[in-house]
């Protein structure tokens, strides 16, 4: 991800997950990033993130066709909605100075942890802890990122009077969920101004991984993704509330997604993974 400025001192978390291996122990002291997965194509998390960005562009331009394209992208993804578990705040260590100097430090060694996820078809698990005091009680204008149905409705509004375009929108809506991309999971967080979420998310080694943050547009979100050793995988501190990150972990492990609300109102955002 392109670095635009580094005013965000990167968040921390980390648990040194001592996973037992049957024979030779794998070196887990470096960055948990392996070679790119050959032939990997963007999955549901990235597609939904792009749909939100395209929608915002279409609305800003008053362009029904762009909004329709965003709606079709959003409708093409099968997303499971999940609730996060509570992440133990003791696993998260902030540098002196708190939120302003916000950066990663190694946590004390933790007891042996279970494998980060079970390959039994269950949705990926995630834990979340929220830090610091809210600086505003303003809930903002939006309650969550825009759904595919709302995108279609906006496309119709912008296309009012254009019968040909309205017909295209109706056709796209009728197409519905046919051929949907599956496998995406999303968690909703309503993050007040001034507060910071830290998420702990597991991924398998040698498997393509996607992380997306999709905000509601009400406030700027600074985002960092680190591995269990504190290595930065990607970050974005631009004036945006969206981040797309894909990588291939070298081993089964936990990753930490830190989301800081830099605005003056609440931002209700989705954390999404493949």
- Interatomic CA distance for residues 124 and 89, integer angstroms: 20
3-state helix, strand, coil in the chain (%, to 5): 20, 25, 55
In this structure, is residue 99 part of a structural domain?
A: yes
pLDDT value of residue 197: 94
In this structure, is residue 105 part of a structural domain?
A: yes
- pLDDT tens sequence across 91-114: 887 655 555 544 433 333 333 344
- Interatomic CA distance for residues 100 and 94, integer angstroms: 10
pLDDT value of residue 10: 35
What stretches of 194-243 show up as alpha helix (H) in DSSP? none
Q: How many domains does the chain have?
A: 1
In which domain, by residue range, is 263 found? 44-273
Q: Compute the mean pLDDT over every residue in the chain, rounded to the nearest whole number.
A: 78
What is the domain-level CATH number for residue 65?
2.60.120.380
Give the residue from 20, 26, 74 showing the smallest Cα distance to 46: 74
Give the residue from 2, 216, 13 showing the smallest Cα distance to 103: 13
In this structure, is residue 265 part of a structural domain?
A: yes
Mean pLDDT (whole number) for 41-45 = 78
In this structure, is residue 10 part of a structural domain?
A: no
Mean pLDDT (whole number) for 198-205 = 90
pLDDT value of residue 183: 67
In this structure, is residue 220 part of a structural domain?
A: yes
3-state SS class at 61: helix
In this structure, is residue 5 part of a structural domain?
A: no
In this structure, is residue 2 part of a structural domain?
A: no
Q: What is the pTM of this model?
A: 0.78
DSSP H/E element including 223: strand 221-227
- pLDDT tens sequence across 56-83: 999 999 999 999 999 999 988 888 888 9
- pLDDT tens sequence across 166-201: 999 999 888 865 655 566 889 999 999 999 999 999
In this structure, is residue 153 part of a structural domain?
A: yes
Q: Answer yes or no: are the C-beta atoms of 249 and 34 closer than 8 Å.
A: yes
């Amino acid at each position: 991800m392109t670095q635009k400025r580094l005013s965000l001192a990167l968040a921390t978390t980390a648990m040194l997950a001592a996973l037992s291996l049957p024979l030779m122990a794998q070196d887990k002291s470096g960055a948990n990033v392996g070679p790119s997965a050959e032939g990997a194509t963007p999955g549901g998390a990235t597609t939904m993130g792009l749909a939100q960005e395209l929608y915002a562009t279409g609305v800003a331009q008053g362009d029904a066709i762009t909004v329709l394209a965003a709606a079709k992208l959003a409708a093409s993804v099968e997303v499971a909605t999940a609730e996060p578990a509570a992440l133990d705040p003791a696993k998260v260590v902030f540098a002196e100075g708190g939120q302003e100097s916000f950066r990663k430090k190694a946590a004390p060694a933790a007891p042996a942890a279970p494998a980060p996820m079970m390959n039994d078809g269950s949705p990926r698990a995630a834990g979340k802890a929220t830090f610091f005091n809210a600086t505003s009680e303003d809930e903002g204008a939006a309650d969550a990122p825009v759904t595919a149905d709302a995108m279609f409705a906006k496309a119709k509004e912008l296309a009012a009077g254009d019968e040909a375009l309205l017909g295209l929108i109706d056709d796209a809506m009728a197409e519905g969920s046919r051929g949907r991309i599956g496998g995406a999971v999303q968690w909703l967080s309503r993050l007040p101004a001034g507060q910071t979420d830290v998420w702990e998310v597991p991924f398998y080694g040698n498997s393509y991984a996607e992380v997306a943050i999709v905000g509601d547009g009400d406030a700027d979100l600074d985002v960092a993704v680190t591995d269990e050793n504190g290595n930065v995988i990607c970050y974005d501190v631009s004036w945006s509330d969206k981040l797309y990150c894909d990588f291939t972990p070298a081993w089964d492990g936990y990753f930490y997604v830190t989301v800081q609300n830099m605005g003056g109102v609440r931002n209700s955002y989705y954390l999404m993974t493949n």
